[in-house]
Amino acid sequence: MNRILLLACVLVLSAGRASGQGRFLERPVASLCTSRPSHDLLDGHRYFYSWLDPSNSNTFLDWVDARNWCRRKCMDLVAFEDVREYQMVSRRMLASDNKFYWTSGRRCDFDDTCLRHDLQPVDINGWFWSASNKKMRPTNHRSSANDWSFTGGYGRPQPDNRERSLGGDNESCLAVLNNHYNDGVRWHDVACHHRKNWVCEDSDELLAFVRRNNPYIRL
């Protein structure tokens, strides 16, 4: 299955339960969408890196706040559905020696939808890109487009939900870390309340929403 069904609930549940604060995802603001920032362009999509923006270079946000920062500008946290995106962002990360950033990757663990047979076990089959609601490849499928690390705090392949095993929150959000465990630039599951840099990319869905409600706007 290429898409997780019934994920309209993500707009409410993944935001609140990922952080434990009952927060919601925000709608785009038309005036911010017209002047949305950009550091890279790929196939007509703009990409923004918080650590390259002078006003945000020293700002770190949790996963929900990072998504909302992007969404207000008709963008969302990056979803690596094309290996070229990951290669492009990785080059930017290495060039600036950035340590970590949020993606829109999310573990399905927030409501009964996540109990579906095709999502089990969730640690392997229950990850998706929340920006597009598209299911990710199984986490044990290693490739250049599915770059989970082979190690972490316990020395185990990612995702390992380590913080949960220590009595904390589920590690339900996907961050890219830069050689934190001497593993190079790799994907790691991280508890969503952690604060990190972030990468936004244009959201076709949010851009279309703003165009429908503002027929004369230039985006």
Rounded-to-integer distance, Cα 152 and Cα 13, Å: 27
What tens digit of pLDDT does each residue of 60-98 get? 999 999 999 999 999 999 999 999 999 999 999 999 989
pLDDT tens for 85-144 read 999 999 999 999 899 999 999 999 888 889 999 999 999 999 999 999 999 999 998 887
Q: State the average pLDDT over residues 12-34.
A: 69
Q: Identify the structural domains of the chain with CATH numbers, from first to last.
A: 7-213 (3.10.100.10)
pLDDT at 55 over 70: yes
| Single pTM value for the model | 0.90
pLDDT tens digits, one per residue of 148-193: 999 999 999 999 999 988 888 999 999 999 999 999 999 999 999 9
* pLDDT score, position 22: 59
Of the candidates 51, 163, 144, 34, the residue with the CA atom closest to the CA atom of residue 100: 51
Q: Is the pLDDT of residue 147 over 70?
A: yes
Helix (H, G, I), strand (E, B) or coil at 146: strand
Residue 161: is it exposed, middle or buried by C-beta count within 10 angstroms (0-12/13-18/19+)? Answer: buried
**What pLDDT, on a 0 to 100 scale, did the predictor assign at position 132?**
93
